[in-house]
Chains A and B, each alone.
Chain A
Amino acid sequence: AQSVTQLDSQVPVFEEAPVELRCNYSSSVSVYLFWYVQYPNQGLQLLLKYLSGSTLVKGINGFEAEFNKSQTSFHLRKPSVHISDTAEYFCAVNPDPYSSASKIIFGSGTRLSIRP
């Protein structure tokens, strides 16, 4: 069965420091990949997505992610974080892009806390 692993459940970072949130998925075939962010007491919103093309994907709020097919990873990065980036981040995969009915698999989430 398909799975998504977010290796860190919590990541504390100082403000203006860089951050990387790690995500690995189990499939070695074509997939679509997503990162979502959830601020307190809100739903999830899309940060960025990889469907095809360039392996470096840029998203909102200065985040970017790199698709690495050989390592089946899709790590999220930001060069300088801000207090407002404090949130929970979810990696998700569509394991069968050729089916509009495929089940989307979510990772368990990484809680990013920014220290002043």
Chain B
Amino acid sequence: KAGVTQTPRYLIKTRGQQVTLSCSPISGHRSVSWYQQTPGQGLQFLFEYFSETQRNKGNFPGRFSGRQFSNSRSEMNVSTLELGDSALYLCASRLNTGELFFGEGSRLTVL
């Protein structure tokens, strides 16, 4: 089985722009979770989608949004980028036990 695929792997944006990140889960997995990882804040949960519906949500401002398509692929969007949004964004597909399968991440740098 192919693993979780995230694109793009690296990207650079400037303040005020918006960005869209993509995640394809493991085939057959219907749950996709997103995390933000920074040196200062560690691993923080953004949201989880299951069957195209947001099932769980972390404590992030409305600038962070996501969606899931019928084929379980997911996208997350960050609008009006701030310097503090620079981070590694990780996507994971999930089993019912809570076991997570992570992608390699998308490293976003905001200048």
Contact = CB atoms under 8 A, between A and B. Distances in A.
Contacts of B94: 104
A51 B97 CA distance: 8
B65 to A, nearest CB: 18
Interface size class of A (residues with CB under 8 A): 20 to 34
Interface size class of B (residues with CB under 8 A): 20 to 34
A46 B97 CA distance: 13
A90 interface: yes
Nearest to B33: A104
Interface string A66-90: 0000000000000000000000001
Interface stretch (B14-22, B42-50, B69-77): B42-50
B43 A106 contact: yes
A43 B97 CA distance: 20
B29 to A, nearest CB: 12
A109 B43 contact: yes
Given A101-B50, A108-B42, A46 B56 contact: no
A46 B99 contact: yes
A100 B96 contact: yes
Interface string B73-104: 00000000000000000101010111111111
Contact of A44 (B55, B100, B107): B100
Contacts of B100: 34, 36, 44, 46, 92, 104
B104 A103 contact: no
Given A100-B96, A101-B50, A101-B55, A43 B102 contact: yes
Contacts of A102: 98
Given A101-B50, A101-B55, A101-B56, A43 B98 contact: no
Interface of A: 32, 34, 36, 41-46, 49, 51, 90, 92, 94, 97, 100-104, 106, 108-109
